[in-house]
């Protein structure tokens, strides 16, 4: 971004904010004066050789919103202006593409929804939810390497494998959690954000595997929550990789068989059918059928939690929902 464009962005922001304040003050003369300045700024932007939609488009929308405000109770006039603004955002989305184009489509959807343009809103939702690859979104992979000494990994894995027997192995697996001290994690994340502030200065769009936006990280609170979630996600991912190594060694060394799992989980809150199902899930994990194991375990975990909750006198359902 050149120096001219940076200055133009600041000028556009200042004029848009000035228009908002003048409108709130209901100073019609001042509103007209600022609107004229906006028109001049838009014209100056459009005659520049370098295309700068981030400068002109917000100013054009600000003028459109002013026209809608002046339309007052004339619903048809408001919808006509809103429809023009929606089409403007769609046009710039097509030209720009990528994540910026998605942001333009979302802005168009917001306008269409607010002004009751049902058909346009439905079309925009379909456009936004279309699958997009990372290349189509203009995203680039950023990777780094962290070296962990082999003896550290081996020592950790062996602490679950080289035990006195299946009971101790299961107890160690049950007691371990990749997230242990949330308060400490929060302090660490805040320190990291303070030490490396650049990556947290900008808004961020979170997409799913299809490239559909699922979250916008804009405020300081959202940025902190997102950074904390990333920290915890990394901890869980690392634990998942190590757990795979642990299960593989338990299986290859015959340290923990499905029958051992069934025998040792059976107890006050786990009856025979549930213990059998958990043992079967462990067998599926050994064979690499993780999805099948997850489906089998989730319903049994829920049953166990409900059983424990009843024993503690806690409510297990809410009839109001």
Nearest to 107 by CA among 9, 216, 181: 216
70 within 8 A of 88, measured Cβ to Cβ: no
pLDDT tens, residue order, the chain (321 aa): 444 445 566 777 888 888 888 888 888 888 888 888 888 887 777 666 455 556 677 777 787 777 777 776 677 777 887 888 888 888 878 887 887 788 888 888 888 888 788 898 898 888 888 887 878 777 777 778 888 899 999 999 999 999 999 999 999 999 999 999 999 999 999 999 999 988 888 778 788 877 777 888 888 899 999 999 999 999 999 999 999 999 999 999 889 999 999 999 998 889 999 999 999 999 999 998 999 999 999 999 998 898 888 888 888 776 565
Residue with tokens 């709130």: 24
d(CA 303, CA 284): 20
What the block records as the tokens of 169 is 């192995």
Q: Exposed, middle or buried, 58 (CB in 10 Å: 0-12/13-18/19+)?
A: middle
pLDDT number for residue 159? 95
Q: Which whole-number Å values give the CA distances from 121 to 62, 76, 105, 126, 286, in the listed order?
A: 20, 17, 10, 9, 48
Domain ranges of the chain: 3-128, 150-256, 257-321
pLDDT number for residue 275? 94
43 within 8 A of 79, measured Cβ to Cβ: no
CATH topology of domain 3-128: 1.25.40
268 within 8 A of 303, measured Cβ to Cβ: no
In a 3-state reduction of DSSP, which class is residue 316?
coil
SS3 content of the chain, % helix, strand, coil (to 5): 70, 5, 25
234 within 8 A of 244, measured Cβ to Cβ: no
Nearest to 60 by CA among 114, 107, 25: 107
Radius of gyration in angstroms for the set of CA atoms belonging to the chain, rounded to a whole number? 29
pLDDT number for residue 106? 86
pLDDT number for residue 50? 56
In a 3-state reduction of DSSP, which class is residue 269?
coil
H helix or E strand, kind and range, residue 137: none
């Amino acid at each position: 971004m050149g120096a001219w464009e940076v200055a133009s962005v600041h000028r556009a922001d200042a004029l848009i904010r000035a228009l908002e304040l003048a409108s709130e003050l209901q100073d019609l003369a001042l509103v007209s004066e600022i609107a004229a300045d906006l028109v001049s700024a838009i014209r100056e932007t459009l005659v520049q050789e370098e295309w700068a939609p981030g400068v002109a488009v917000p100013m054009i929308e600000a003028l459109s919103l002013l026209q809608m405000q002046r339309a007052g109770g004339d619903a048809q006039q408001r919808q006509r202006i809103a429809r023009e603004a929606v089409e403007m955002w769609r046009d710039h989305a097509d030209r720009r593409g990528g994540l910026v184009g998605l942001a333009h489509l979302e802005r168009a959807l917001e306008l269409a929804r607010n002004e009751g343009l049902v058909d346009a809103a439905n079309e925009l939702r379909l456009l936004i939810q279309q699958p997009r690859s990372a290349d189509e979104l203009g995203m680039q992979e950023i990777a780094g390497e962290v070296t962990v000494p082999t003896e550290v990994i081996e020592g950790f894995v062996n602490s679950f494998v080289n035990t006195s027997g299946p009971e101790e192995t299961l107890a160690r697996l049950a007691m371990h959690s990749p997230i242990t001290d949330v308060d400490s994690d929060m302090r660490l994340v805040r320190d990291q954000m303070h030490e490396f502030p650049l990556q947290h200065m900008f808004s961020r769009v979170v997409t799913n595997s299809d490239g559909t936006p699922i979250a916008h990280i804009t405020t300081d609170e959202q940025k902190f929550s997102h950074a904390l979630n990333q920290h915890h996600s990394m901890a869980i991912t690392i634990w998942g990789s190590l757990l795979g190594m642990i299960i593989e060694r338990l299986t290859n060394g015959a340290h923990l068989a499905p029958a051992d799992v069934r025998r040792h989980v059976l107890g006050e809150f786990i009856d025979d059918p549930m213990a059998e199902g958990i043992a079967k899930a462990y067998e599926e994990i050994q064979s690499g059928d993780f999805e099948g194991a997850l489906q089998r375990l989730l319903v049994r975990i829920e049953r166990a939690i409900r059983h424990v909750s009843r024993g503690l006198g806690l409510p297990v359902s809410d009839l109001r929902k």
